[in-house]
Amino acid sequence: MTSSISRRLIFWLAVPLMLMALCGALVHYFNSVAPGMISSDRRLREAANSLMAHIVANEGRVTLDERAEGKPALPSPDAIKYALRDPQGRLLAGDAQLPPVALANEISQMFAMSQIDDRSLRTLTTRFDTRAGVIFITVADVHPPGEAAVRYSFMSTLLWDFVQLDVTLVLVWIGIQLGLRPVKKLRDEIAARSPLDLRPLVETSVPREIAPVVVTLNRLFATLRTAAQSQQQFIANTAHQLRTPITGMQAQLDLLAAEPAALPVKSRIQSLQEGIRQLARAANQLLTLARADPTANIAIKNQAVDLGGLVSEVVAKFIDRALQSDIDLGVDVKPATILVDPSLLDDLLSNLVDNALKYTPPGGRVTATAGLQNDKPFVSVEDSGPGIPEGERQRVRQRFYRMPNSAGHGSGLGLAIVDEIAALYGASVSLDSGANGRGTKVLVQFPDSAVTHR
């Protein structure tokens, strides 16, 4: 499955931008918390130092002298809670709600979080050596930094960062779409072209980033045009080289058949004449099939053609053959102009009329029709022959296929040629029964794009 350039760009931009927004919110959070934590820690240290200055050890007892003569003032109970404990955790002075904190011998001071009155307060426990022994001083900041305010600030910052991220991605998406317009225009131009349209793309109107692609495409188009022209030239040369000797052989056999000395072998000469005619017909069909191949028609030259006039011209070529076979050959045309290669359309019609005459018995009829149907140009050839069974209608369109026990002689290429030429112009070919369910009607319906107005 193909991926979109714009989606890939958005993805590779969104991921780092999201990480940057998250990191920015975290930095903002810690920048908001850190000053409050530093201020709280300073107050706790000052409170601990003040308490140590007021501790009095006398006769193995530790008391707290609340006088402030020459000493720092004791912390206010509304701001700082404190507790003095001995190594066994017994309360000597202060607030019993402050839990005891054990310190290892090598640690003299430690910060911790303690749960007091359903509140998490930051505490500082200090080891203090006195004459009465070691005591532990624990102080707690009753008014810690506003954690709720900090969390609110963090969430609001994070939300705003992601709002900015969304707006940024929308603007980036719009910028990408605008920036990719030349690429989309080039894509649409190529998609709108027919497979046979190999005109070079305009290189001056594309951005520098995709100019090498356009240059490469134009080189490819030029190579294909050259190859197609070479193939067409080869087919034309081959047709000339085949038709010339075959025509000469036919002329020589006709002259030989007219000689009195040839009467004893006249039947053999007639067999040769029939074989040469079949050879000429098969060669022409093979060359027509080669010309109808899409790879040989990349450089095809279409022009406006009077559909009715061309049908009448093709039918006129078969009048003598129809008279000899006692077949009523007629046309029914209405005005219509179509954009095609006249020689290819001539081949298509000639094969349809030839097939119809080949399989129509004496006394039958063949009618070629052309015009517009639902505003689309069409041609059809209808005969009164034996018809084609419904189960065989797809198979007779295959190359070299002939129905079992079918009358006449042929190579099975007629309808295959019709299919190939129709496919060049996006036309549809349908096989149905003729009038009253008898015979065969072949309808070739061209698309709207083939219609032209003179």
Pick the last residue of a domain from 149, 176, 206.
149
Say if residue 284 is in the same domain as residue 310. no
End-to-end Cα separation, the chain, in angstroms: 45
Residue 65 has pLDDT above 70, yes or no: yes
Highest mean pLDDT among 13-17, 52-56, 109-113, 326-330 belongs to 326-330
Say if residue 309 is in the same domain as residue 257. no
Residue 1 has pLDDT above 60, yes or no: no
Confidence band for 144, pLDDT divided at 50, 70 and 90? low
Say if residue 434 is in the same domain as residue 337. yes
| Residue range(s) defining the domain that contains residue 388 | 301-454
Kindly state whether residue 105 falls inside one of the protein's structural domains: yes
Instruction: Provide mean pLDDT across the span 386-400.
Output: 78
Instruction: Provide mean pLDDT across the span 405-427.
Output: 73
Kindly state whether residue 29 falls inside one of the protein's structural domains: yes
pLDDT score recorded for residue 41: 81
Say if residue 375 is in the same domain as residue 280. no
Kindly state whether residue 451 falls inside one of the protein's structural domains: yes
How many separate domains does the chain show? 3
Say if residue 9 is in the same domain as residue 28. yes
Say if residue 15 is in the same domain as residue 49. yes
Kindly state whether residue 39 falls inside one of the protein's structural domains: yes
Kindly state whether residue 356 falls inside one of the protein's structural domains: yes
Say if residue 219 is in the same domain as residue 319. no
Say if residue 397 is in the same domain as residue 427. yes
Residue 98 has pLDDT above 70, yes or no: yes
Say if residue 35 is in the same domain as residue 113. yes
Residue 42 has pLDDT above 80, yes or no: yes
Residue 451 has pLDDT above 70, yes or no: no
Residue 409 has pLDDT above 60, yes or no: no
Q: CATH number for the domain including 51?
A: 3.30.450
Kindly state whether residue 266 falls inside one of the protein's structural domains: yes
pLDDT score recorded for residue 297: 55
The string of pLDDT tens digits covering residues 163-207 is 887 888 888 888 888 877 888 888 888 887 766 677 888 877 777
Say if residue 339 is in the same domain as residue 290. no
Residue 123 has pLDDT above 80, yes or no: yes
Say if residue 321 is in the same domain as residue 437. yes
Confidence band for 231, pLDDT divided at 50, 70 and 90? low
Kindly state whether residue 168 falls inside one of the protein's structural domains: no
Mean pLDDT of the chain: 78
Q: CATH number for the domain including 327?
A: 3.30.565.10
Confidence band for 290, pLDDT divided at 50, 70 and 90? low
Pick the last residue of a domain from 249, 277, 300.
300
Say if residue 242 is in the same domain as residue 358. no
Kindly state whether residue 163 falls inside one of the protein's structural domains: no
More confident residue, 443 or 417: 443
